[in-house]
Each structure stands twice: as C-alpha cells, then as structure tokens.
C-alpha cells in the first residue's frame, strides 16, 4: 500500500497528487471487489486477491495423523486427533469415514473427502485443505498460504485488506454447520453454514492415489446467501 505523503510546506501540491492517485487506486479496488466477491469453498484462492508473504501466523493445526511406524489400524484410530463426539456432531453416522481419513486411510467416496475437508475447515487445517484439491496452476505450498489467509491464520497487508474488504470467502472462518444435499458419482452438492451466511456449492472430485478422492478443479455453481 502506498504511503501517504507529507501534507504541508513545499510538498503540498505533490502530496495532493499522490493522495488523489491513491484514492483512485482504492476506488478501483473497491469496484473490483464488488465484481469478484464470490469464491468457491473448494478453492477460495481463486477469489482472494493480493500477494501473501510468509507462513501462518502461529503455525497451523494438523488434523491428519502421521502414523510414525505404526501399521495397526485400531491403534491409529485411537490416536485420531478428534473425538467421536466432535466428528459425530457434524457428520452423524458417517463420522467414522472422516476419522479414518484423518488417520491416513483413503477416502471411500467423494462425499467422505468433502466431509473431511469441512472438518479441516472447522478445525483450521490449511495444509489438509490444500493437499486434498488439485490445481495444476498452483503448488500445495501456494494453496496452503491462501487457505491460511482465508482462515485468518496469516495476516494481509493494509492494501490487500482493502482489496478483499467484502469477500464472502472470509465467512469460512466461522463455520457452524455442514449439509450434504446430494452425492452423485463424482459430484457432491453441499451447504456450509457460517456465521451470518450460507455457501451452497456443487463440485466435482477425482480419484487420488494418496487420499482416495480430491477436489478436481470443477465447480458447477458456488453461491453465497
């Protein structure tokens, strides 16, 4: 963000020009924000504008259990970082699918990986979110940074805050509920209820050797209301 010039003495005229230029940039930024404020949950980086530097402010939460030499499934399940009650509150009878993904098993279906992604959203794990979506134009590291910004784990500079002032994607910092509307083949239609707003989306998932399924880069619709 440009620094405001001194507004007195011999620099007044030059400073006024710089202020007018800054105000023009700010106005353009606001117009762009109005035009491009929507962003898909599966890849909010498409809607977040600006250049992010550094990593998450206080480190990021890690939900995915790295089984250190352990191949015993029941032992890994016991070590799941979330309790049955925590998972059941969001996923009901399908909580076990999410738990198994978190302890390193492959997702059995697109719906299961989408449920695990919501859990990563609720407990703020940008790395899991970045790893379970495919985008050839960005590295996992870049997507991790973008998710860190969305989740509020990484600071933006003042100009980028202005650029994203009304971005709906930041509502994802406060998710309060999740609903799968339909799951048909590779497609999952879902709703994420946030504080004050709800995201409705239908996205396509593809098979993955490591996670079973990941977001494949295609969204039929994504709407905030």
Residue-level pLDDT at 18:
52
Beta-carbon contacts of residue 94 (< 8 Å; ≥ 6 apart): 111, 112, 115
Residue-level pLDDT at 40:
62
Residue-level pLDDT at 36:
38
The CA dihedral of 167, 169, 174, 177, to the nearest 10 degrees, is: 130
pLDDT, tens digit, 9 for 90 and up, residues 156-210: 888 888 888 888 999 999 999 999 999 999 999 999 999 889 999 999 999 999 9
pLDDT < 50 regions, the chain: 1-15, 19, 28-29, 31-38, 46, 51-60, 67-69
- Between CA 190 and CA 196, with CA 191 as vertex, the angle to 5 degrees is 170
Residue-level pLDDT at 63:
77
Packing angle of the helix pair 110-122, 95-102 (nearest 10 deg): 70
- In the block, residue with structure tokens 């979110």: 129
Q: What is the pTM of this model?
A: 0.75
83-97 in b/e form (b: 16+ CB < 10 A) is eeebbbebbeebbeb
Chain centroid to CA 39: how far? Answer: 10
Q: Which two tokens stand for residue 204?
A: 């396509």
Residue-level pLDDT at 157:
84
Residue-level pLDDT at 109:
98
Taken in order 110, 176, 119, 125, the sign of the CA dihedral is positive
CA distance 149 to 144: 9
């Amino acid at each position: 963000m440009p620094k405001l010039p001194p507004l007195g003495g011999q620099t007044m005229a030059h400073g006024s020009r710089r202020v007018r230029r800054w105000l023009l940039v700010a106005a353009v930024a606001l117009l762009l924000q109005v035009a491009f404020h929507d962003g898909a949950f599966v890849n909010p980086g498409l809607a977040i504008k600006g250049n992010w530097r550094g990593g998450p402010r206080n480190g990021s939460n890690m939900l995915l259990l790295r089984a250190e030499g352990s191949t015993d499934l029941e032992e890994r399940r016991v070590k799941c970082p979330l309790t049955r009650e925590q998972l059941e509150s969001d996923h009901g009878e399908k909580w076990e699918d999410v738990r198994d993904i978190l302890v390193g098993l492959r997702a059995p279906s697109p719906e299961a990986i989408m449920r695990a992604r919501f859990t990563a959203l609720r407990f703020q794990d940008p790395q899991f979110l970045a790893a379970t979506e495919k985008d050839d134009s960005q590295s996992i590291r870049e997507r991790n940074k973008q998710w860190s910004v969305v989740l509020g784990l990484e600071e933006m500079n003042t100009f980028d805050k202005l650029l994203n002032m009304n971005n709906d994607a930041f509502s994802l910092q406060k998710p309060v509920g999740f609903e799968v509307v339909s799951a048909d083949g590779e497609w999952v239609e879902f709703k994420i209820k946030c504080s004050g707003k709800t995201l409705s989306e239908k996205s396509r998932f593809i098979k993955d050797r490591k996670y079973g399924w990941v977001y494949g880069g295609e969204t039929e619709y994504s709407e905030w209301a």
